[in-house]
Amino acid sequence: MLNSAEPIVIIGAGESGTRTALTIRQLGWDGPLTLIGEENTAPYERPPLSKQRLSSPDSPVATITTASELHDRRIDFLQGRRAVGIDRTSQVVSLDNDSTLPYGQLLIATGSRARPLPIAGGDHAITLRQITDIERVLEAVRTPRLCVIGAGLIGLEIAAQAWVHGTDVIVVEAADEVLSRVAPPAMASLIRHRHERSGVSFVLGTQAHRIGRHNDQYIVTLSNGTAIECDRVIAAIGSIPNCELATDAGLLVANGIVVDDQLRSSDPLILSAGDCCSFPAAGSHVRLEAWRNAHDQANVAAQNLAGSHISYVTVPWFWSDQYDFSVQVVGTPSAGATDVERHTHDSATFVFSLDVDGVLVAASGLGTGSSAAKTIRAAQMLIEDRCIVDPAALADPTVSLRAIRKTATT
């Protein structure tokens, strides 16, 4: 284990930073450990912000840990403090109160922020990233008419929650289908139909051009010339990684802080994890905005900060909850050449994506509650092992994926 006297400093107290701090202590590393978080609250989970927080605003905030637990583990938690600079020569982090913190090793886990809408009047649109955004979003999902710009996961989750409140929702999306970045077309259209059955309308293949304001009403003008009148506009068009500290410190940054398989940046004393880092996967570098990635990278970052040399290997996975169903996607659907559908008796639907060699590269499942989870988890193992899978077996709901795994070839 590394010299415990060299302080470890973590910038960002979200999923990745906080889990890293907790795991470092679980591993028995007992040196000075500081967690810097600019948000003025105990570390919390972000996914419920577009789910339970909107349906039951009074439900308790899902905290990752408490200030007292951090204190008990001798993690110096600087709540409400922002890191403003990294001096790599003298190995210090400077803070927004003009103080400095020396580091032996540093983890940058600054996450990402909601992408602002780059159009005239774009600042009229509300975005959702942090707990302090919730009040404005809650008010918006309870207005009579809501326009959501962006049909990604967060946009659709917000649309589903607005429907629960009886709001008329119209979703504008530049691509020709919803969820085009993350789900295969068959799954995406199934999800869109579910929204349409609830009364949510979609304007696809169309961009919002400008947002005008009249008293307390908004007019969203679209690229096709039409205008949408509404009471609030929410923009959910993806996120931008928080890399400014890394860029200013001269680290390699390209759509995220570039790290190697051990999550080390171009400076080996500085690691990065979570939404803000771009890591090697399948022959290139990728940046994910997914909870499990942030969680699992924290685990690897903690071990490597404590002196190990472990590689981060992953198959991307995420879930989303909308209405009474949950979607799970594992792997990279865009790498598929053929899609195979499976429909089960309990009305779960799966789309399996095979590449040109017949290797399973992604699986997407949609069902009530967590009913799709078991199959998706088994599919993950097939994807990890790069198995060639018989499409007929994948389509047959009576054949379990565990059984397929026993006979699959690699």
Partner 1 sequence: MADNWVRVCETSDVDQEDVIRFDHAESTYAIYRSLDDDFYATEGLCTHEQVHLADGFVMDNIIECPKHNGRFDYTSGAAAASPVCVNLQTYPVKIEGDAVYINIPDDDAELR
Ligand X SMILES: Cc1cc2nc3c(=O)[nH]c(=O)nc-3n(C[C@H](O)[C@H](O)[C@H](O)COP(=O)(O)OP(=O)(O)OC[C@H]3O[C@@H](n4cnc5c(N)ncnc54)[C@H](O)[C@@H]3O)c2cc1C
Interface with partner 1 by CB under 8 A: which residues?
A: 19, 22-23, 62, 64, 291-292, 295, 319, 369-371, 373-374, 377-378, 400, 402
**Residue choice 129, 210, 374, 405 for contact with ligand X (CB under 6 A):** 129
Residue 128 touching ligand X (CB under 6 A): yes
Partner whose footprint covers residue 237, from ligand X, partner 1, none (CB < 5 to 8 Å by kind) = none
* C-alpha to C-alpha distance for 173 and 179, rounded to whole angstroms: 9
* Least Cβ distance, residue 397 to ligand X (angstroms): 26
DSSP class of residue 80 equals T
Residue 274 touching ligand X (CB under 6 A): yes
* C-alpha to C-alpha distance for 134 and 374, rounded to whole angstroms: 32
Reduced to 3 states, what is the DSSP secondary structure of residue 86?
Answer: strand
- Relative to beta strand 33-37, strand 145-149 is unpaired
Residue 319 touching ligand X (CB under 6 A): yes
Contact (CB, 8 A) for 161 and 253: no
* C-alpha to C-alpha distance for 379 and 365, rounded to whole angstroms: 10
**Residue choice 8, 9, 10, 12 for contact with ligand X (CB under 6 A):** 12
* C-alpha to C-alpha distance for 236 and 323, rounded to whole angstroms: 18
Reduced to 3 states, what is the DSSP secondary structure of residue 403?
Answer: helix
Residue 101 touching ligand X (CB under 6 A): no
Contact (CB, 8 A) for 265 and 258: yes
Both structure tokens of 35: 């967690």
* Least Cβ distance, residue 377 to partner 1 (angstroms): 4
Neighbours of 283 (CB within 10 A): 5
* C-alpha to C-alpha distance for 155 and 167, rounded to whole angstroms: 14
Partner whose footprint covers residue 39, from ligand X, partner 1, none (CB < 5 to 8 Å by kind) = ligand X
Partner whose footprint covers residue 37, from ligand X, partner 1, none (CB < 5 to 8 Å by kind) = ligand X
Helix (H), strand (E) counts: the chain: 11, 25
Partner whose footprint covers residue 44, from partner 1, ligand X, none (CB < 5 to 8 Å by kind) = none
Of 74 and 402, which CB lies nearer to partner 1 in the complex structure? 402
Partner whose footprint covers residue 22, from partner 1, ligand X, none (CB < 5 to 8 Å by kind) = partner 1
Of 170 and 362, which CB lies nearer to partner 1 in the complex structure? 362
Could you give the dihedral angle defined by the CA atoms of residues 157, 169, 220 and 158, in that order, rounded to the nearest 10 degrees?
-20
Q: Which of residues 213-252 bind ligand X (CB under 6 A)?
A: 242, 245
DSSP class of residue 251 equals -
Residue 109 touching ligand X (CB under 6 A): yes
**Residue choice 13, 42, 70, 75 for contact with ligand X (CB under 6 A):** 13
**Residue choice 65, 110, 278, 328 for contact with ligand X (CB under 6 A):** 110
Residue 37 touching ligand X (CB under 6 A): yes
Residue 161 touching ligand X (CB under 6 A): no
Which residue, chain included where needed, has tokens 């993350």?
Answer: 182
Please report, as ranges, the residues that interact with ligand X according to CB under 6 A: 11-17, 36-39, 46-47, 49-50, 82-83, 109-112, 128-129, 154, 242, 245, 274-276, 289-292, 294, 318-320
